[in-house]
Amino acid sequence: MLQTVGVIELKSIAKGILACDEILKSAEIQLISAHTACPGKYEIIITGQLSNVQIAIDRATDNYGEYVLDSTVMGRIEPTVIKALFGGVADCAKGAIGVIETFSGTSAIKAADSAVKAAAVEIMEMSISRGMGGKGYVVVTGDIADVTAAVETGAEYAKNQGLLAGTSLLAAPHEDLWQYI
């Protein structure tokens, strides 16, 4: 099971591919994903032992700092976040809904991990970077108190980085909305 995840987004595709190659050679890590993202960004997601992931992300940040838009290393990432990264979501009970929207995929992953660790919520949906102008978002559900706490905590990282696009809380979503989330 994945324990540590490192994510880095660069504003150059050419430098992103070069950085990806360098970090794969710098430490014993595994590549989860490396892809272009709108608008002309390159996103790298890696896993491995915490120290190796940190070495790899530090290497990319040191060598390509002027191109780095956002990066993070998350130890003990919540398994539901990994599942959501790969498109799997829980079959959730219908409760309150919280949405965290960010200007980077990295901050959306960090927001999701922080949110599910902060309160008893489930991830309904998570999307990062592709087809959204490089943005990311996570949708969580649970009781209103938990959803409120999760959204506040999850949004904090993105807000501190200047990457929070917005949040919303729906205490009692309309029944018709559920089929579109």
Domain ranges of the chain: 4-75, 79-180
Name residue 114's amino acid.
Answer: S
The structure's pTM equals: 0.81
The pLDDT assigned to 90 comes to: 62
**Dist. CA 165–CA 163, nearest whole Å:** 6
The pLDDT assigned to 1 comes to: 52
Instruction: Look at the domain 4-75 and name its fold.
Output: Alpha-Beta Plaits (3.30.70)
Question: Hey, what are 142's tokens?
Answer: 């649970």
Question: Hey, what are 19's tokens?
Answer: 């950085």
Taking domain 79-180, whether its CATH number is 3.20.20.70 is answered by no
Q: Do domains 4-75 and 79-180 have the same CATH topology?
A: yes
Parts of the chain with a pLDDT under 70: 1-2, 88-91, 131
The pLDDT assigned to 8 comes to: 95
Q: Counting Cβ atoms within 10 Å, is residue 135 exposed (0-12), middle (13-18) or buried (19+)? A: buried
pLDDT in tens, 110-147: 999 999 999 999 999 888 877 677 789 999 999 999 99
The pLDDT assigned to 102 comes to: 94
The pLDDT assigned to 78 comes to: 85
Distances (CA, A) of 62 to 11, 17, 24, 74: 15, 15, 15, 19
